[in-house]
Chains A and B, each alone.
Chain A
C-alpha cells in the first residue's frame, strides 16, 4: 500500500542545520515533495525532487533521495527561528494522488 512515515519532532538551535527524514513505500512514485505548514495556515510547497534525481539544492534547502531505501531527507542549513513549523513529506502515487506523512514539528531554539 501507499504509506509515508516521518519522525514527529525535531529540536535544533538557531544557526545549526536541521535534517528531517521521511520514508515511503510506493516505489513507483515519480515526484516527492516537502511542504511547510505554519500554525493555522495552509501548506506551502518548499521543494520537490523527481525520482530519477539523487539530490536537489535550493538556497538553504538540500533534498537527498535514496530510491533504493525509499528514503528522503530535507536539510535546512543555518536554521532560523522563522523555520519553526511542521514539515510534511509527500509522495505522488502512481494513481496521481498526493500521500502525506504525519509531519515533523521543527522547533528552533534561539
Chain B
C-alpha cells in the first residue's frame, strides 16, 4: 500500500498560471519535505516542515510556497510558474532523524 501519495502524477500548467501539487501520507511522520528534481540532477530540497514549523531553504524562490494543514497533508503552491519550473516534484516524509520515504512524484510541465 502506498504510504506517501502524490497527486496528480502528471500536471500541465500554463506559464504564469498558479498551480498546486498535493502530498498525503499514512505514516504519521512529523517531517514532510518537498524536493525539486530536474532531469539528470540530484533532488534539491525546497523546504520542509517539522510538525507545523516551516523551514525554507535559502535559495528557494519566493514563487514557491507551501501549506501543511494537518499531519497527513502538505501542498506545494507555485504562484507563477515559469518554463524553468518544469521538473519532477518529490514529496517525502520521515520521523525526525529517520529515513525518508518518497512519493512517486508529480511531473510538472509548463506550456
With most chain A CB atoms within 10 A of its CB, the pick from B50, B90, B99, B107 is B99
Q: Count A-B contacts at CB 8 Å.
A: 50
Q: Are A96 and B97 in contact (CB under 8 A)?
A: yes
Q: Are A42 and B103 in contact (CB under 8 A)?
A: yes
Answer whether residue A88 sits at the interface, using C-beta atoms and an 8 A cutoff. Answer: yes
Known pairs A40-B107, A103-B42; A45 contacts B99 (CB<8 A) = yes
Q: Pick the residue among A30, A45, A103 that contacts B101 (CB under 8 A).
A: A45
* Secondary structure class of chain A's binding surface, majority of residues: strand
Name the interface size band of chain B. Answer: 20 to 34
- The interface residues of chain B lying within 8 Å CB-to-CB of A40 are 105, 107
Name the interface size band of chain A. Answer: 20 to 34
The residues of B with any CB-CB pair to A shorter than 8 Å are 4, 6, 31, 33, 40-43, 45, 48, 50, 90, 92, 96-97, 99-105, 107
Could you pull out 27 A-B pairs where Cβ atoms are within 8 angstroms? A30-B97, A31-B97, A31-B99, A33-B100, A40-B107, A41-B105, A42-B102, A42-B103, A43-B90, A43-B102, A44-B102, A45-B99, A45-B100, A45-B102, A88-B42, A88-B43, A96-B31, A96-B97, A97-B45, A98-B33, A98-B45, A100-B42, A101-B42, A102-B40, A102-B42, A103-B40, A103-B42
